Amino acid sequence: MAYLQSMPKSETIKLREKHIGAACQLFFRSSPLKIVRGIAQFMYDESGERYLDCINNVAHVGHCHPHVVEAGRNQMSLISTNNRYLHDELVILAKRLVRTMPGPLSVCFFVNSGSEANDLALRLARIHTKRKDVITLDHAYHGHLTSMIEVSPYKLNLPGGPEKPEWVHVAPVPDVYRGKYTYPKDSKSEEELGKMYADEVGKLCRLAESNGRGVCAFIAESLQSCGGQIIPPHGYLSNTYKHVREAGGVCIADEVQVGFGRVGTHMWAFETQDVVPDIVTVGKPMGNGHPVAAVITTPEIAKSFADTGVEYFNTYGGNPVSCAIANAVLDVIEEERLMERAFRVGNHLLARCESLKHRHRLVGDVRGRGLFVGVELVTDKEKRTPATAEAKHVINRMREEKILISRDGPDSNVLKFKPPMVFSTQDADRLVDTLDRVLAELDGTRISNMTLEVRVTPLDDTSDKDVLRSNAQQAMKAI
Amino acid sequence: MAYLQSMPKSETIKLREKHIGAACQLFFRSSPLKIVRGIAQFMYDESGERYLDCINNVAHVGHCHPHVVEAGRNQMSLISTNNRYLHDELVILAKRLVRTMPGPLSVCFFVNSGSEANDLALRLARIHTKRKDVITLDHAYHGHLTSMIEVSPYKLNLPGGPEKPEWVHVAPVPDVYRGKYTYPKDSKSEEELGKMYADEVGKLCRLAESNGRGVCAFIAESLQSCGGQIIPPHGYLSNTYKHVREAGGVCIADEVQVGFGRVGTHMWAFETQDVVPDIVTVGKPMGNGHPVAAVITTPEIAKSFADTGVEYFNTYGGNPVSCAIANAVLDVIEEERLMERAFRVGNHLLARCESLKHRHRLVGDVRGRGLFVGVELVTDKEKRTPATAEAKHVINRMREEKILISRDGPDSNVLKFKPPMVFSTQDADRLVDTLDRVLAELDGTRISNMTLEVRVTPLDDTSDKDVLRSNAQQAMKAI
């Protein structure tokens, strides 16, 4: 069934090229998708073609969940104004959010995006500690704002990216597969690896102290997503937080991508590491697509902010519609027991992906928590050489199979799964079965590069070149 | 008629105190309003009491406009995903927005708030000019983000506010009533005053050049709102832009508060000054309460950004729901001819306010464009001494009369009117008639302080003290 469009796709593309900044990039650039409909874990293009959505963590409780749509519609027709007036939806949301957090985290600030939340978190940390130096993880991404790019090596590391400010200190990613300390090379004990990585943050704390300024804050996603779906070793965050606090800094947990039950065992990913942050930022899944986010902190830090006497006013932040929608998302998470589902389906997905590791030459590592899963592709399992071009090829092939996945990590070689939480075991099976098939196609490419060349010809132009270049290089080595 | 509440007001207040950061301040702090319903230019509290809303410029086409609510509801139930996929609503909105702007402004970036828009504008200017120095107006406010507070003297000037970075240069506000150059003291020609103020920006351009860095951008609201409803003298922006461009900088027009037809004669306030900015930011009214904002710039500046190779991704920015809502707001502005209405009703309001000037000792200046009006209260018309306490008293008295107005400006003595654009001449009459009465009460206070003391006793505690202190001081002087 084709859907009603305002204009043919070619016209949409033409207008987009003319009127939307080219820095806003399309997914599948040479042949982008026009998505006109979403239901639960599925998205539909203009021709009615259905895609299994394995990447849209924003559509947390499923695309267009009727309870959320209804809540938005109701509140939109009643009132939407700023939080200089009292409103029940605002305080109910605050109370419910706080109830999911450990005790000291009891004061909320509502904003419109994860970027705004992280910006405010850093501002709170600065005001509270009266310091500026920030420790961030390599390859971390905390948002698109000027203040966030400064602490996002994901952007700073790019060739055209801005320069790293000298008050930003970059700690190594606690990646035990391809990071500074790996398993089993540097240690067979997860705890020890956790300590080794935490000690790196400790060193940076002392560096910040030695420059006479001291550390203001440590900011990190509880599980690093853009960095490549990283699951830090046990004890990493607890030891890191200890170092930071001993140095007088505060600890910020960025839960924008990984919060709201995605990890399956807990509502917040920091809980899997047994820590209590000083400031938590939440966003993306919070409004199931509606722009709403929040900062949750301790009464002490909130008081430091209020004590400046400077008002914090965010025009749309905490407006009744945003709050009603966020409350509805919490309703669905509870009523449909989505956290338990993320645990059950996530474990199934993880186990099935694990089996791919033994069957395919490209699958180097499989890791995850709940419905946050990464499959790292390598061209050499021993050397753990990133299979960047192959990962791009897989994404494109999966799209042909009507399954949307993406890739990330500093070498863009980690397949990333973070589907809406209504994802089912059947969906997981379809995802893994298809991936199995696509990887099998690639298993033969070392032997027959020519076969692959023919195979990928109809695909994305750029993809072709990358894969062909990589294959050519391998062939050269073989010769 | 009382409205259904989730909890009594006292409980809402208790929860708010416990769970919402105290830096988020309530309007009428000692006796805040609980607003549960909005229709057109009216807001209703929990007891069903109706207030005439003269300040909510966000509810541009009227609170809960059915066409906007419907557009939001429809799109929410179809799809809301990020702009890495094609969507018609996005490109239609871009095309429509661009059509309202002068030629060179043809490329859009969609974001979630005016703050995000201004942050991106500054980032674009920096990338394009490869410079950092920014010229901003005194008392300007451009947003709540770290990067925006740096260029917002409105916050920097506060006792507890952060320090001004040395790359920020503050130009005097082109306020011909109480600014650096005033009418008629410094000149009787508006054009000449415009030039004098513009020359101040020229001086700062040369200062920025002399430090070897040069000027990156000049950022200003086309009409300054938080600064005190300032209408710059004719020729101000054109001469200012000339200075900035000669120095190699770009000109950013912040239309977040004053755009979308509010000024009555034009869609954008910069048009009243006959200039074409290099970058325009729009926000607040754009979604009639829904978090959506945008940056519109030239193809050259957008290209400089794209050429860095760094992707700009804003999770919710330009999502189909935000765009559908913004398109619906544009529909209503057009179909209900709200710009013309702003012109007609605004002129009526302005003329009626003007008449107050001659009748009340406190009314020093009346100024405005369309439905953007300021009434500056002074205790001494010759010296133009700000009547801060009196302005606060007026706000509180008007609230008793069920009319919501606010005050602004560096001395918080400017009564601010920026109602939803559906405001009628009858509403304007009610506003001015009531204000007339409230000002008349105050006219007598120089003679009889005791009368006033009895009169204001039941009001806001803080207000009492301020007014009493001011009265006491006047009485002392009289003795």
Distance from CA of A187 to the nearest CA of B (A): 37
Hey, are the CB atoms on B23 and A94 less than 8 Å from each other?
Answer: no
Contact A253, A217 (CB under 8 A): no
CB contacts < 8 A (A, B): 352
The per-residue pLDDT for A160 is: 83
Q: Which residues make Cβ contacts (< 8 Å) with residue B99, sequence separation at least 6?
A: none
Q: At what angle do helices A88-99 and A320-335 cross, to 10 degrees?
A: 40
Hey, are the CB atoms on B108 and A308 less than 8 Å from each other?
Answer: no
Alpha-carbon distance A327 to A205, whole Å?
A: 39
| CA-angle at B343, arms to B340 and B348, nearest 5° | 130
Distance from CA of B242 to the nearest CA of A (A): 26
Name every chain B residue with its beta carbon within 8 A of the beta carbon of A257.
none
The per-residue pLDDT for A159 is: 87
pLDDT, tens digit, for every residue of A450-472?
A: 333 333 333 344 444 455 455 54
Contact B289, A319 (CB under 8 A): yes
Question: Judging by beta carbons within 10 Å of its beta carbon (0-12, 13-18, 19+), is residue B311 exposed, middle or buried?
Answer: middle
Distance from CA of B348 to the nearest CA of A (A): 27
CATH class of A9-61+338-478: alpha beta
**For residue A67, how many other CB atoms are within 10 A of its CB?**
15
Residue of chain B minimizing CA distance to A98: B19
Question: What is the total residue count of chain A?
Answer: 479
Pairing of strands A50-53, A403-404: parallel
The per-residue pLDDT for A232 is: 97
- Provide the strand spans (E) within A245-345: 250-254, 279-282, 293-297
B/e letters for A304-339, b = 16+ CB within 10 Å, e = fewer, are bbbebebebebbbbbbbbbbbbbbbbbbbbeebebb
Comparing C-alpha atoms, which of A322, A336, A338 is closest to residue A288? Answer: A322
Written as one letter, the residue type at A103 is: G
Contact B121, B114 (CB under 8 A): no
DSSP 8-state secondary structure symbol assigned to residue B272 = G
Name every chain B residue with its beta carbon within 8 A of the beta carbon of A38.
78-81
**3-class SS of residue A51:** strand
Alpha-carbon distance A251 to A234, whole Å?
A: 17
Hey, are the CB atoms on B20 and A318 less than 8 Å from each other?
Answer: yes
Contact A145, B145 (CB under 8 A): yes
- Provide the strand spans (E) within B46-161: 50-53, 107-111, 133-137
**pLDDT at residue A332 greater than cutoff 50:** yes
Alpha-carbon distance B203 to B210, whole Å?
A: 10
* Cβ of residue A25 closer than 8 Å to a chain B Cβ: yes
The per-residue pLDDT for B466 is: 53
Hey, are the CB atoms on A306 and B22 less than 8 Å from each other?
Answer: yes
| CB-closest option in B146, B308, B321 to A119 | B146
Distance from CA of B465 to the nearest CA of A (A): 19
Mean pLDDT over B157-180 rounds to 94
The per-residue pLDDT for A448 is: 35
Cα–Cα distance list, B256 to A316, B117, B295, B370 (Å): 13, 9, 10, 16
Cα–Cα distance list, B428 to A229, A343, B42, B351, B420 (Å): 58, 59, 13, 10, 12
Residue bearing the bigger pLDDT, A269 or A454: A269
Q: At what angle do helices A299-307 and A114-129 cross, to 10 degrees?
A: 80
* Cβ of residue B308 closer than 8 Å to a chain A Cβ: yes
* Cβ of residue A318 closer than 8 Å to a chain B Cβ: yes
The per-residue pLDDT for A449 is: 36
**pLDDT at residue A479 greater than cutoff 80:** no
pLDDT, tens digit, for every residue of A168-226?
A: 999 999 999 999 999 999 999 999 999 999 999 999 999 999 999 999 999 999 999 98
The per-residue pLDDT for A445 is: 62
**pLDDT at residue B447 greater than cutoff 90:** no
**3-class SS of residue A448:** coil
Hey, are the CB atoms on B20 and A119 less than 8 Å from each other?
Answer: no
Name every chain A residue with its beta carbon within 8 A of the beta carbon of B7.
88
Q: Tokens 């305080």 — which residue?
A: A91
Q: Which residues make Cβ contacts (< 8 Å) with residue A236, sequence separation at least 6?
A: A174, A193, A194, A197, A198, A273
- Provide the strand spans (E) within A235-371: 250-254, 279-282, 293-297, 363-369
> Which CATH number is A66-335's, of 3.10.20.30, 1.10.10.10, 3.40.640.10, 3.40.50.150?
3.40.640.10
Distance from CA of A202 to the nearest CA of B (A): 27
Distance from CA of A451 to the nearest CA of B (A): 31
Distance from CA of A315 to the nearest CA of B (A): 8
Which positions 149-188 of A are in contact with B (Cβ < 8 Å)? 155, 158-161
Alpha-carbon distance A451 to A435, whole Å?
A: 19
Alpha-carbon distance A259 to A117, whole Å?
A: 14
Residue of chain A minimizing CA distance to B155: A310
Name every chain A residue with its beta carbon within 8 A of the beta carbon of B284.
315
Hey, are the CB atoms on A22 and B303 less than 8 Å from each other?
Answer: yes
Mean pLDDT over B347-372 rounds to 97
Mean pLDDT over B363-376 rounds to 98
* Cβ of residue A193 closer than 8 Å to a chain B Cβ: no
Cα–Cα distance list, A36 to A305, A409, B80, B85, B314 (Å): 43, 29, 9, 9, 19
Mean pLDDT over A99-115 rounds to 97
Q: Output the average pLDDT for chain B.
A: 93
Bridge partners (DSSP) listed for residue A136: A170, A219
* Cβ of residue A2 closer than 8 Å to a chain B Cβ: no
Name every chain A residue with its beta carbon within 8 A of the beta carbon of B82.
56, 58
DSSP 8-state secondary structure symbol assigned to residue A271 = G
Name the strands in the sheet holding A133-137, side by side, starting at the edge strand that comes first in the sequence.
A107-111, A293-297, A279-282, A250-254, A215-221, A133-137, A168-171
Handedness of CA B199, B200, B206, B212 (dihedral sign): negative
* Cβ of residue B211 closer than 8 Å to a chain A Cβ: no
| CB-closest option in A86, A319, A322 to B34 | A86
What is the DSSP annotation of A137-205?
A: ETT----SSHHHHTT-HHHHTSTTPPPPPTTEEEEPP--TTTSSS-TTTT-S-HHHHHHHHHHHHHHHH
Contact B369, B346 (CB under 8 A): yes
Distance from CA of B228 to the nearest CA of A (A): 17
Comparing C-alpha atoms, which of A274, A275, A210, A217 is closest to residue A248? Answer: A217
Hey, are the CB atoms on B26 and A310 less than 8 Å from each other?
Answer: no
Q: Which two tokens stand for residue B366?
A: 């009346």
Alpha-carbon distance B140 to B150, whole Å?
A: 11
Contact A49, A402 (CB under 8 A): yes
pLDDT, tens digit, for every residue of A26-62?
A: 999 999 999 999 999 999 999 999 999 999 999 999 9
pLDDT, tens digit, for every residue of B121-144?
A: 999 999 999 999 999 999 999 999
Alpha-carbon distance B88 to A34, whole Å?
A: 9
Name every chain A residue with its beta carbon within 8 A of the beta carbon of B322.
291
Domain ranges of chain A: 9-61+338-478, 66-335
**For residue B90, how many other CB atoms are within 10 A of its CB?**
28
Hey, are the CB atoms on A310 and B122 less than 8 Å from each other?
Answer: no
The per-residue pLDDT for B463 is: 45
Alpha-carbon distance B222 to B279, whole Å?
A: 12
